[in-house]
């Protein structure tokens, strides 16, 4: 992973108090402390079930302001602007790494429209766009595989996470950008998340930071690995599940806790010689100890087509072991987080369940219930779709 230049690291270190890390040049500590935590107004206190309101899709490879739309891997609601933000996992192959803004037109009865309203290129510490794999060898920096983003509930900045790249020796990262995409801050991470080309430890390739969420008070940040670290055991198969780690960070990078999440076995067997996987695709904090986890499996059939299996769970850290100090889980004794199935998307009455990777609460509905939106990553593939699903949260 690229290291921030010394002047940037120094400037950020000077603002290392948790609430001061994120001040813009136009904000003071007083105004930031007084700012409302917008997320708390939208986060439901309880979830018993979800009611599907409707679905919208974007056209395959839609063009928008000179960019190709697709690969939407994360979503969040910017309450201050009344807009949604969407991260694109294009590794700067079609266009530079970026996020979109959009308006979603819906109410308690119907989901009518998704309209893009803006696109912003995300920038590295030197002000340049993230390189593609082809230009990485010449330019350096980091190839960004962006899978999750959140709007900072304190000042509206954009936080985004990258899975890194084991083959390029690039570590995963969590970074914060201002409104124009300029890099403000990088969350310090423990060596546990460093990649190893020999696959002896660290995240598997394309199995690192996939989910992220602020706690409702905005004071800390949960970050989830998609799959198990190499040292924690094998990846899921149709015969057995696996363990992934979900970590709670303070804003200065202090690890406040880390817990084991039990991934389910892959729900079906793949075709002969074909692929199948299962992992965490997004998380959404409900409190300091509870969150929603979107668990998504993809199973390839004999003809090479994928079927997606997506389930939404509510999980709880109370009673689970804090595993932050365990270098490996392979032979350790620990208690996993409890989990409760909230919704099996394959049983929700949808004509199709695509590669759902993003999840966020939106504005309250007329009856006071929270709304929840999911979005799928089409991988820029014409056999997949960019799918938005709207649900009413039943308390």
User: What span, in angstroms and rounded, lies between the C-alpha atoms of 296 and 277?
Assistant: 8
Residue 109 token pair: 């009865």
**SS3 assignment, position 172:** coil
Question: Which pLDDT score, from 0 to 100, does residue 12 have?
Answer: 35
Residue 31 confidence (pLDDT) above 80: no
* C-alpha closest to that of 211 among 195, 191, 227: 227
Tell me the pLDDT band of 47, cut-offs 50, 70 and 90.
very high
Q: What is the mean pLDDT of residues 334-339?
A: 98
Question: Which pLDDT score, from 0 to 100, does residue 46 have?
Answer: 86
Instruction: Give per-residue pLDDT as tens, 97-153.
Output: 999 999 999 999 999 999 999 999 999 999 999 999 999 999 999 999 999 999 999
**SS3 assignment, position 193:** helix
Angle (CA) 214-216-219 rounded to 5° is 60
Contact (CB, 8 A) for 36 and 199: no
Residue 28 confidence (pLDDT) above 50: no
Question: Which pLDDT score, from 0 to 100, does residue 109 have?
Answer: 98
DSSP 2: P
Question: Which pLDDT score, from 0 to 100, does residue 42 have?
Answer: 74
Question: Which pLDDT score, from 0 to 100, does residue 43 have?
Answer: 92
Concatenated DSSP letters of 233-281: -PPP-SS--EEEEEEEEETTS-EEEEEEEEEPPPSSPPPTT--EEEEEE
Q: What is the mean pLDDT of residues 1-22?
A: 34
Residue whose tokens read 């500590």: 29
Residue 132 token pair: 């593609």
Question: Which pLDDT score, from 0 to 100, does residue 307 have?
Answer: 97
Residue 187 confidence (pLDDT) above 50: yes
Question: Which pLDDT score, from 0 to 100, does residue 383 have?
Answer: 95
Cβ neighbours of 275 (radius 10 Å):
11
Residue 282 confidence (pLDDT) above 90: yes
Contact (CB, 8 A) for 375 and 387: yes
User: What span, in angstroms and rounded, lies between the C-alpha atoms of 96 and 156?
Assistant: 22
Question: Which pLDDT score, from 0 to 100, does residue 45 have?
Answer: 85
Question: Which pLDDT score, from 0 to 100, does residue 111 have?
Answer: 98
Residue whose tokens read 């979109």: 100
DSSP 123: B
Q: What is the mean pLDDT of residues 18-32?
A: 30
User: What span, in angstroms and rounded, lies between the C-alpha atoms of 19 and 269?
Assistant: 48
- On average, the pLDDT of the chain sits at 91
Q: What is the mean pLDDT of residues 253-264?
A: 98
Instruction: Give per-residue pLDDT as tens, 203-214.
Output: 999 999 999 999
Contact (CB, 8 A) for 251 and 18: yes
Q: Please give the CATH number for the structural domain made up of 6-17+42-394.
A: 2.115.10
CA distances from 214 to 44, 210, 220, 236 (A): 14, 14, 6, 27
Question: Which pLDDT score, from 0 to 100, does residue 222 have?
Answer: 98
For residue 42, which phi and psi values (nearest 5 degrees)? -105, -20
Q: What is the mean pLDDT of residues 292-321?
A: 97
Q: What is the rounded (10 degree) CA torsion for 366, 368, 374, 375?
A: 40
Q: What is the mean pLDDT of residues 192-215?
A: 97
Q: Of how many residues is the chain composed?
A: 395
């Amino acid at each position: 992973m690229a290291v921030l230049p010394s002047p940037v690291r120094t400037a950020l270190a000077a603002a290392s108090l948790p609430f001061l890390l994120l001040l813009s040049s136009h904000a003071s500590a007083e105004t930031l402390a007084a700012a409302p935590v917008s997320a708390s107004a939208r986060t439901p206190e309880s979830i018993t079930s979800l009611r599907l309101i409707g679905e919208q899709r974007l056209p395959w490879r839609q063009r928008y302001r000179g960019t190709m739309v697709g690969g939407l891997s994360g979503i969040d609601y910017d309450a201050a602007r009344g807009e949604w933000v969407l991260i694109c996992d294009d590794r700067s192959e079609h266009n530079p790494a970026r996020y979109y803004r959009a308006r979603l037109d819906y109410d308690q009865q119907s989901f009518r429209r998704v309209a893009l309203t803006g696109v912003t290129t995300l920038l590295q510490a030197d002000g340049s766009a993230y390189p593609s794999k082809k230009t990485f060898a010449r330019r350096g920096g980091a190839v960004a595989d962006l899978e999750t983003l959140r709007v900072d509930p304190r000042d509206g900045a954009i936080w985004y996470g990258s899975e890194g790249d084991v083959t390029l020796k690039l570590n995963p990262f969590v970074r914060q950008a201002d409104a124009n995409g300029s890099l403000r801050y990088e969350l310090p991470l423990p060596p546990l998340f460093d990649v190893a080309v020999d696959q002896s430890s660290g995240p598997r390739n394309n199995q690192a930071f996939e989910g992220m969420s602020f706690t409702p008070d905005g004071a800390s940040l949960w970050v989830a690995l998609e799959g198990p670290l190499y040292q924690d055991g094998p990846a899921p198969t149709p015969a057995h599940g696996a363990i992934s780690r979900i970590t709670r960070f303070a804003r200065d990078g202090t690890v406040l806790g880390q817990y084991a999440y039990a991934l389910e076995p892959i729900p079906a067997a793949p075709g002969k010689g074909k692929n199948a996987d299962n992992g965490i695709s997004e998380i959404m904090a409900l409190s300091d100890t509870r969150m929603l986890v979107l668990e998504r499996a993809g199973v390839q059939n004999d003809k090479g087509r994928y079927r997606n299996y997506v389930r939404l769970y509510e999980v709880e850290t109370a009673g689970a072991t804090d595993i932050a100090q365990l270098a490996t889980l392979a032979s350790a004794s620990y208690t996993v987080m409890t989990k409760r199935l909230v919704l099996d998307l394959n049983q929700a009455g949808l004509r199709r369940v695509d590669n759902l990777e993003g999840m966020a609460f939106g504005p309250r509905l007329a009856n006071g219930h929270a709304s929840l939106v999911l979005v799928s990553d089409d991988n820029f593939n014409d056999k997949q779709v960019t799918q938005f699903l709207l649900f009413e949260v039943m308390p």
